[in-house]
Amino acid sequence: MSAVLEFAEVTVRRGATTLLDSVSWVVEEDERWVVLGPNGAGKTTLMQLASANMHPTSGVAAILDEVLGAVDVFELRPRIGVTSAAIAERLPRDELVRDLVVSSVYGVLGRWREHYDELDHDRARSLLTELGAGNLIDRTFGTLSEGERKRVQIARALMSDPELLLLDEPAAGLDLGGREDLVSTLEMLAFDPGSPATVLVSHHVEEIPPGFTHGLLLRQGRVVAQGPLDEVITEPLLGQTFGMPLVVTKEDGRYAARRRRGRRQD
Ligand SMILES: Nc1ncnc2c1ncn2[C@@H]1O[C@H](COP(=O)(O)OP(=O)(O)OP(=O)(O)O)[C@@H](O)[C@H]1O
């Protein structure tokens, strides 16, 4: 088993601000990680590094056995599938879903050539179907609901058969039903042995799909805890991460958390 991500004492500074402080982290190829932390904890910064879109100020960050700073990032990036709000904003609203998905093989945002390989179209169609979005293939992206857009983005991220999948807050903006549908989709991906190593960024333990194996808790750029999920999603560690006493429960493979109320209110 080889490491997909291997960060050693990675620090990112911007001016006087430390965005990430000496983060050491290893993701193996069969693992599914969730990165949790409050606003401003450094999660997006960590994903920027993991997607080869940022370099550490100090420390060593290796992605797919290539060390950032010693590799051509334009060769590395196609091996990584990414979804994020920033990427979604750049997707053309008038583009057909089939073209949006198929074009990602060529690293472009929309359709740019008249003819794609038939195999590419088959793969796009089967990915969309697998993600429960097969019926959307002839729609334009702009007409989709937020939940449908998330599915299309994940299909797009998987289209190039990446070795690493990074999902930055995929449930943001979804209603309860949309979130639950997405969690089911991510559960299916998590349990599929053919899926790439996956890192999911979230603010909420309720969004952790069954099948995810590891957790990394971040607060103010520092790792509070990391390891197998059940060792990390605990009341003390999660409370420390979010800066308040919490009650954490787990039922049917799903976590839930709420503030611990004072003794008299319990
Ligand atoms: N270029 C920059 N210069 C100074 N500070 C920055 C810069 N970029 C980000 N930051 C700060 O670094 C911290 C971490 O930001 P980051 O976006 O990684 O957090 P996050 O955990 O993803 O937050 P959120 O959950 O709100 O998306 C924040 O306090 C942010 O304001």
224, containing H or E segment:
strand 222-228
pTM above 0.80, yes or no: yes
Atom 30 (ligand 1) nearest CA: 40
- Closest atom of ligand 1 to CA, residue 168: 22
pLDDT at 266: 46
- Closest atom of ligand 1 to CA, residue 221: 14
Neighbours of 187 (CB within 10 A): 18
Q: Is 85 in the pocket of ligand 1 (CB under 6 A)?
A: no
Residue 216 β-bridge partners: 35, 226
Q: Is 219 in the pocket of ligand 1 (CB under 6 A)?
A: no
Q: Which amino acid is at 50?
A: A
pLDDT at 111: 53
Beta strands in 110-245 (DSSP E): 164-168, 197-202, 214-219, 222-228
- Note whether 128 and 97 are within 8 A (CB): yes
Pocket test for ligand 1, best of 13, 20, 35, 44 (most atoms within 8 A of CB): 44
pLDDT at 212: 97
Cα of 36 vs centre of ligand 1, distance in Å, is 14
pLDDT at 107: 58
pLDDT along the chain (266 residues), means of 10: 92 96 97 96 96 96 95 91 89 91 70 67 91 92 91 92 94 88 93 95 96 97 97 97 96 95 62
The domains of the chain, with CATH numbers, are 3-265 (3.40.50.300)
pLDDT at 86: 87
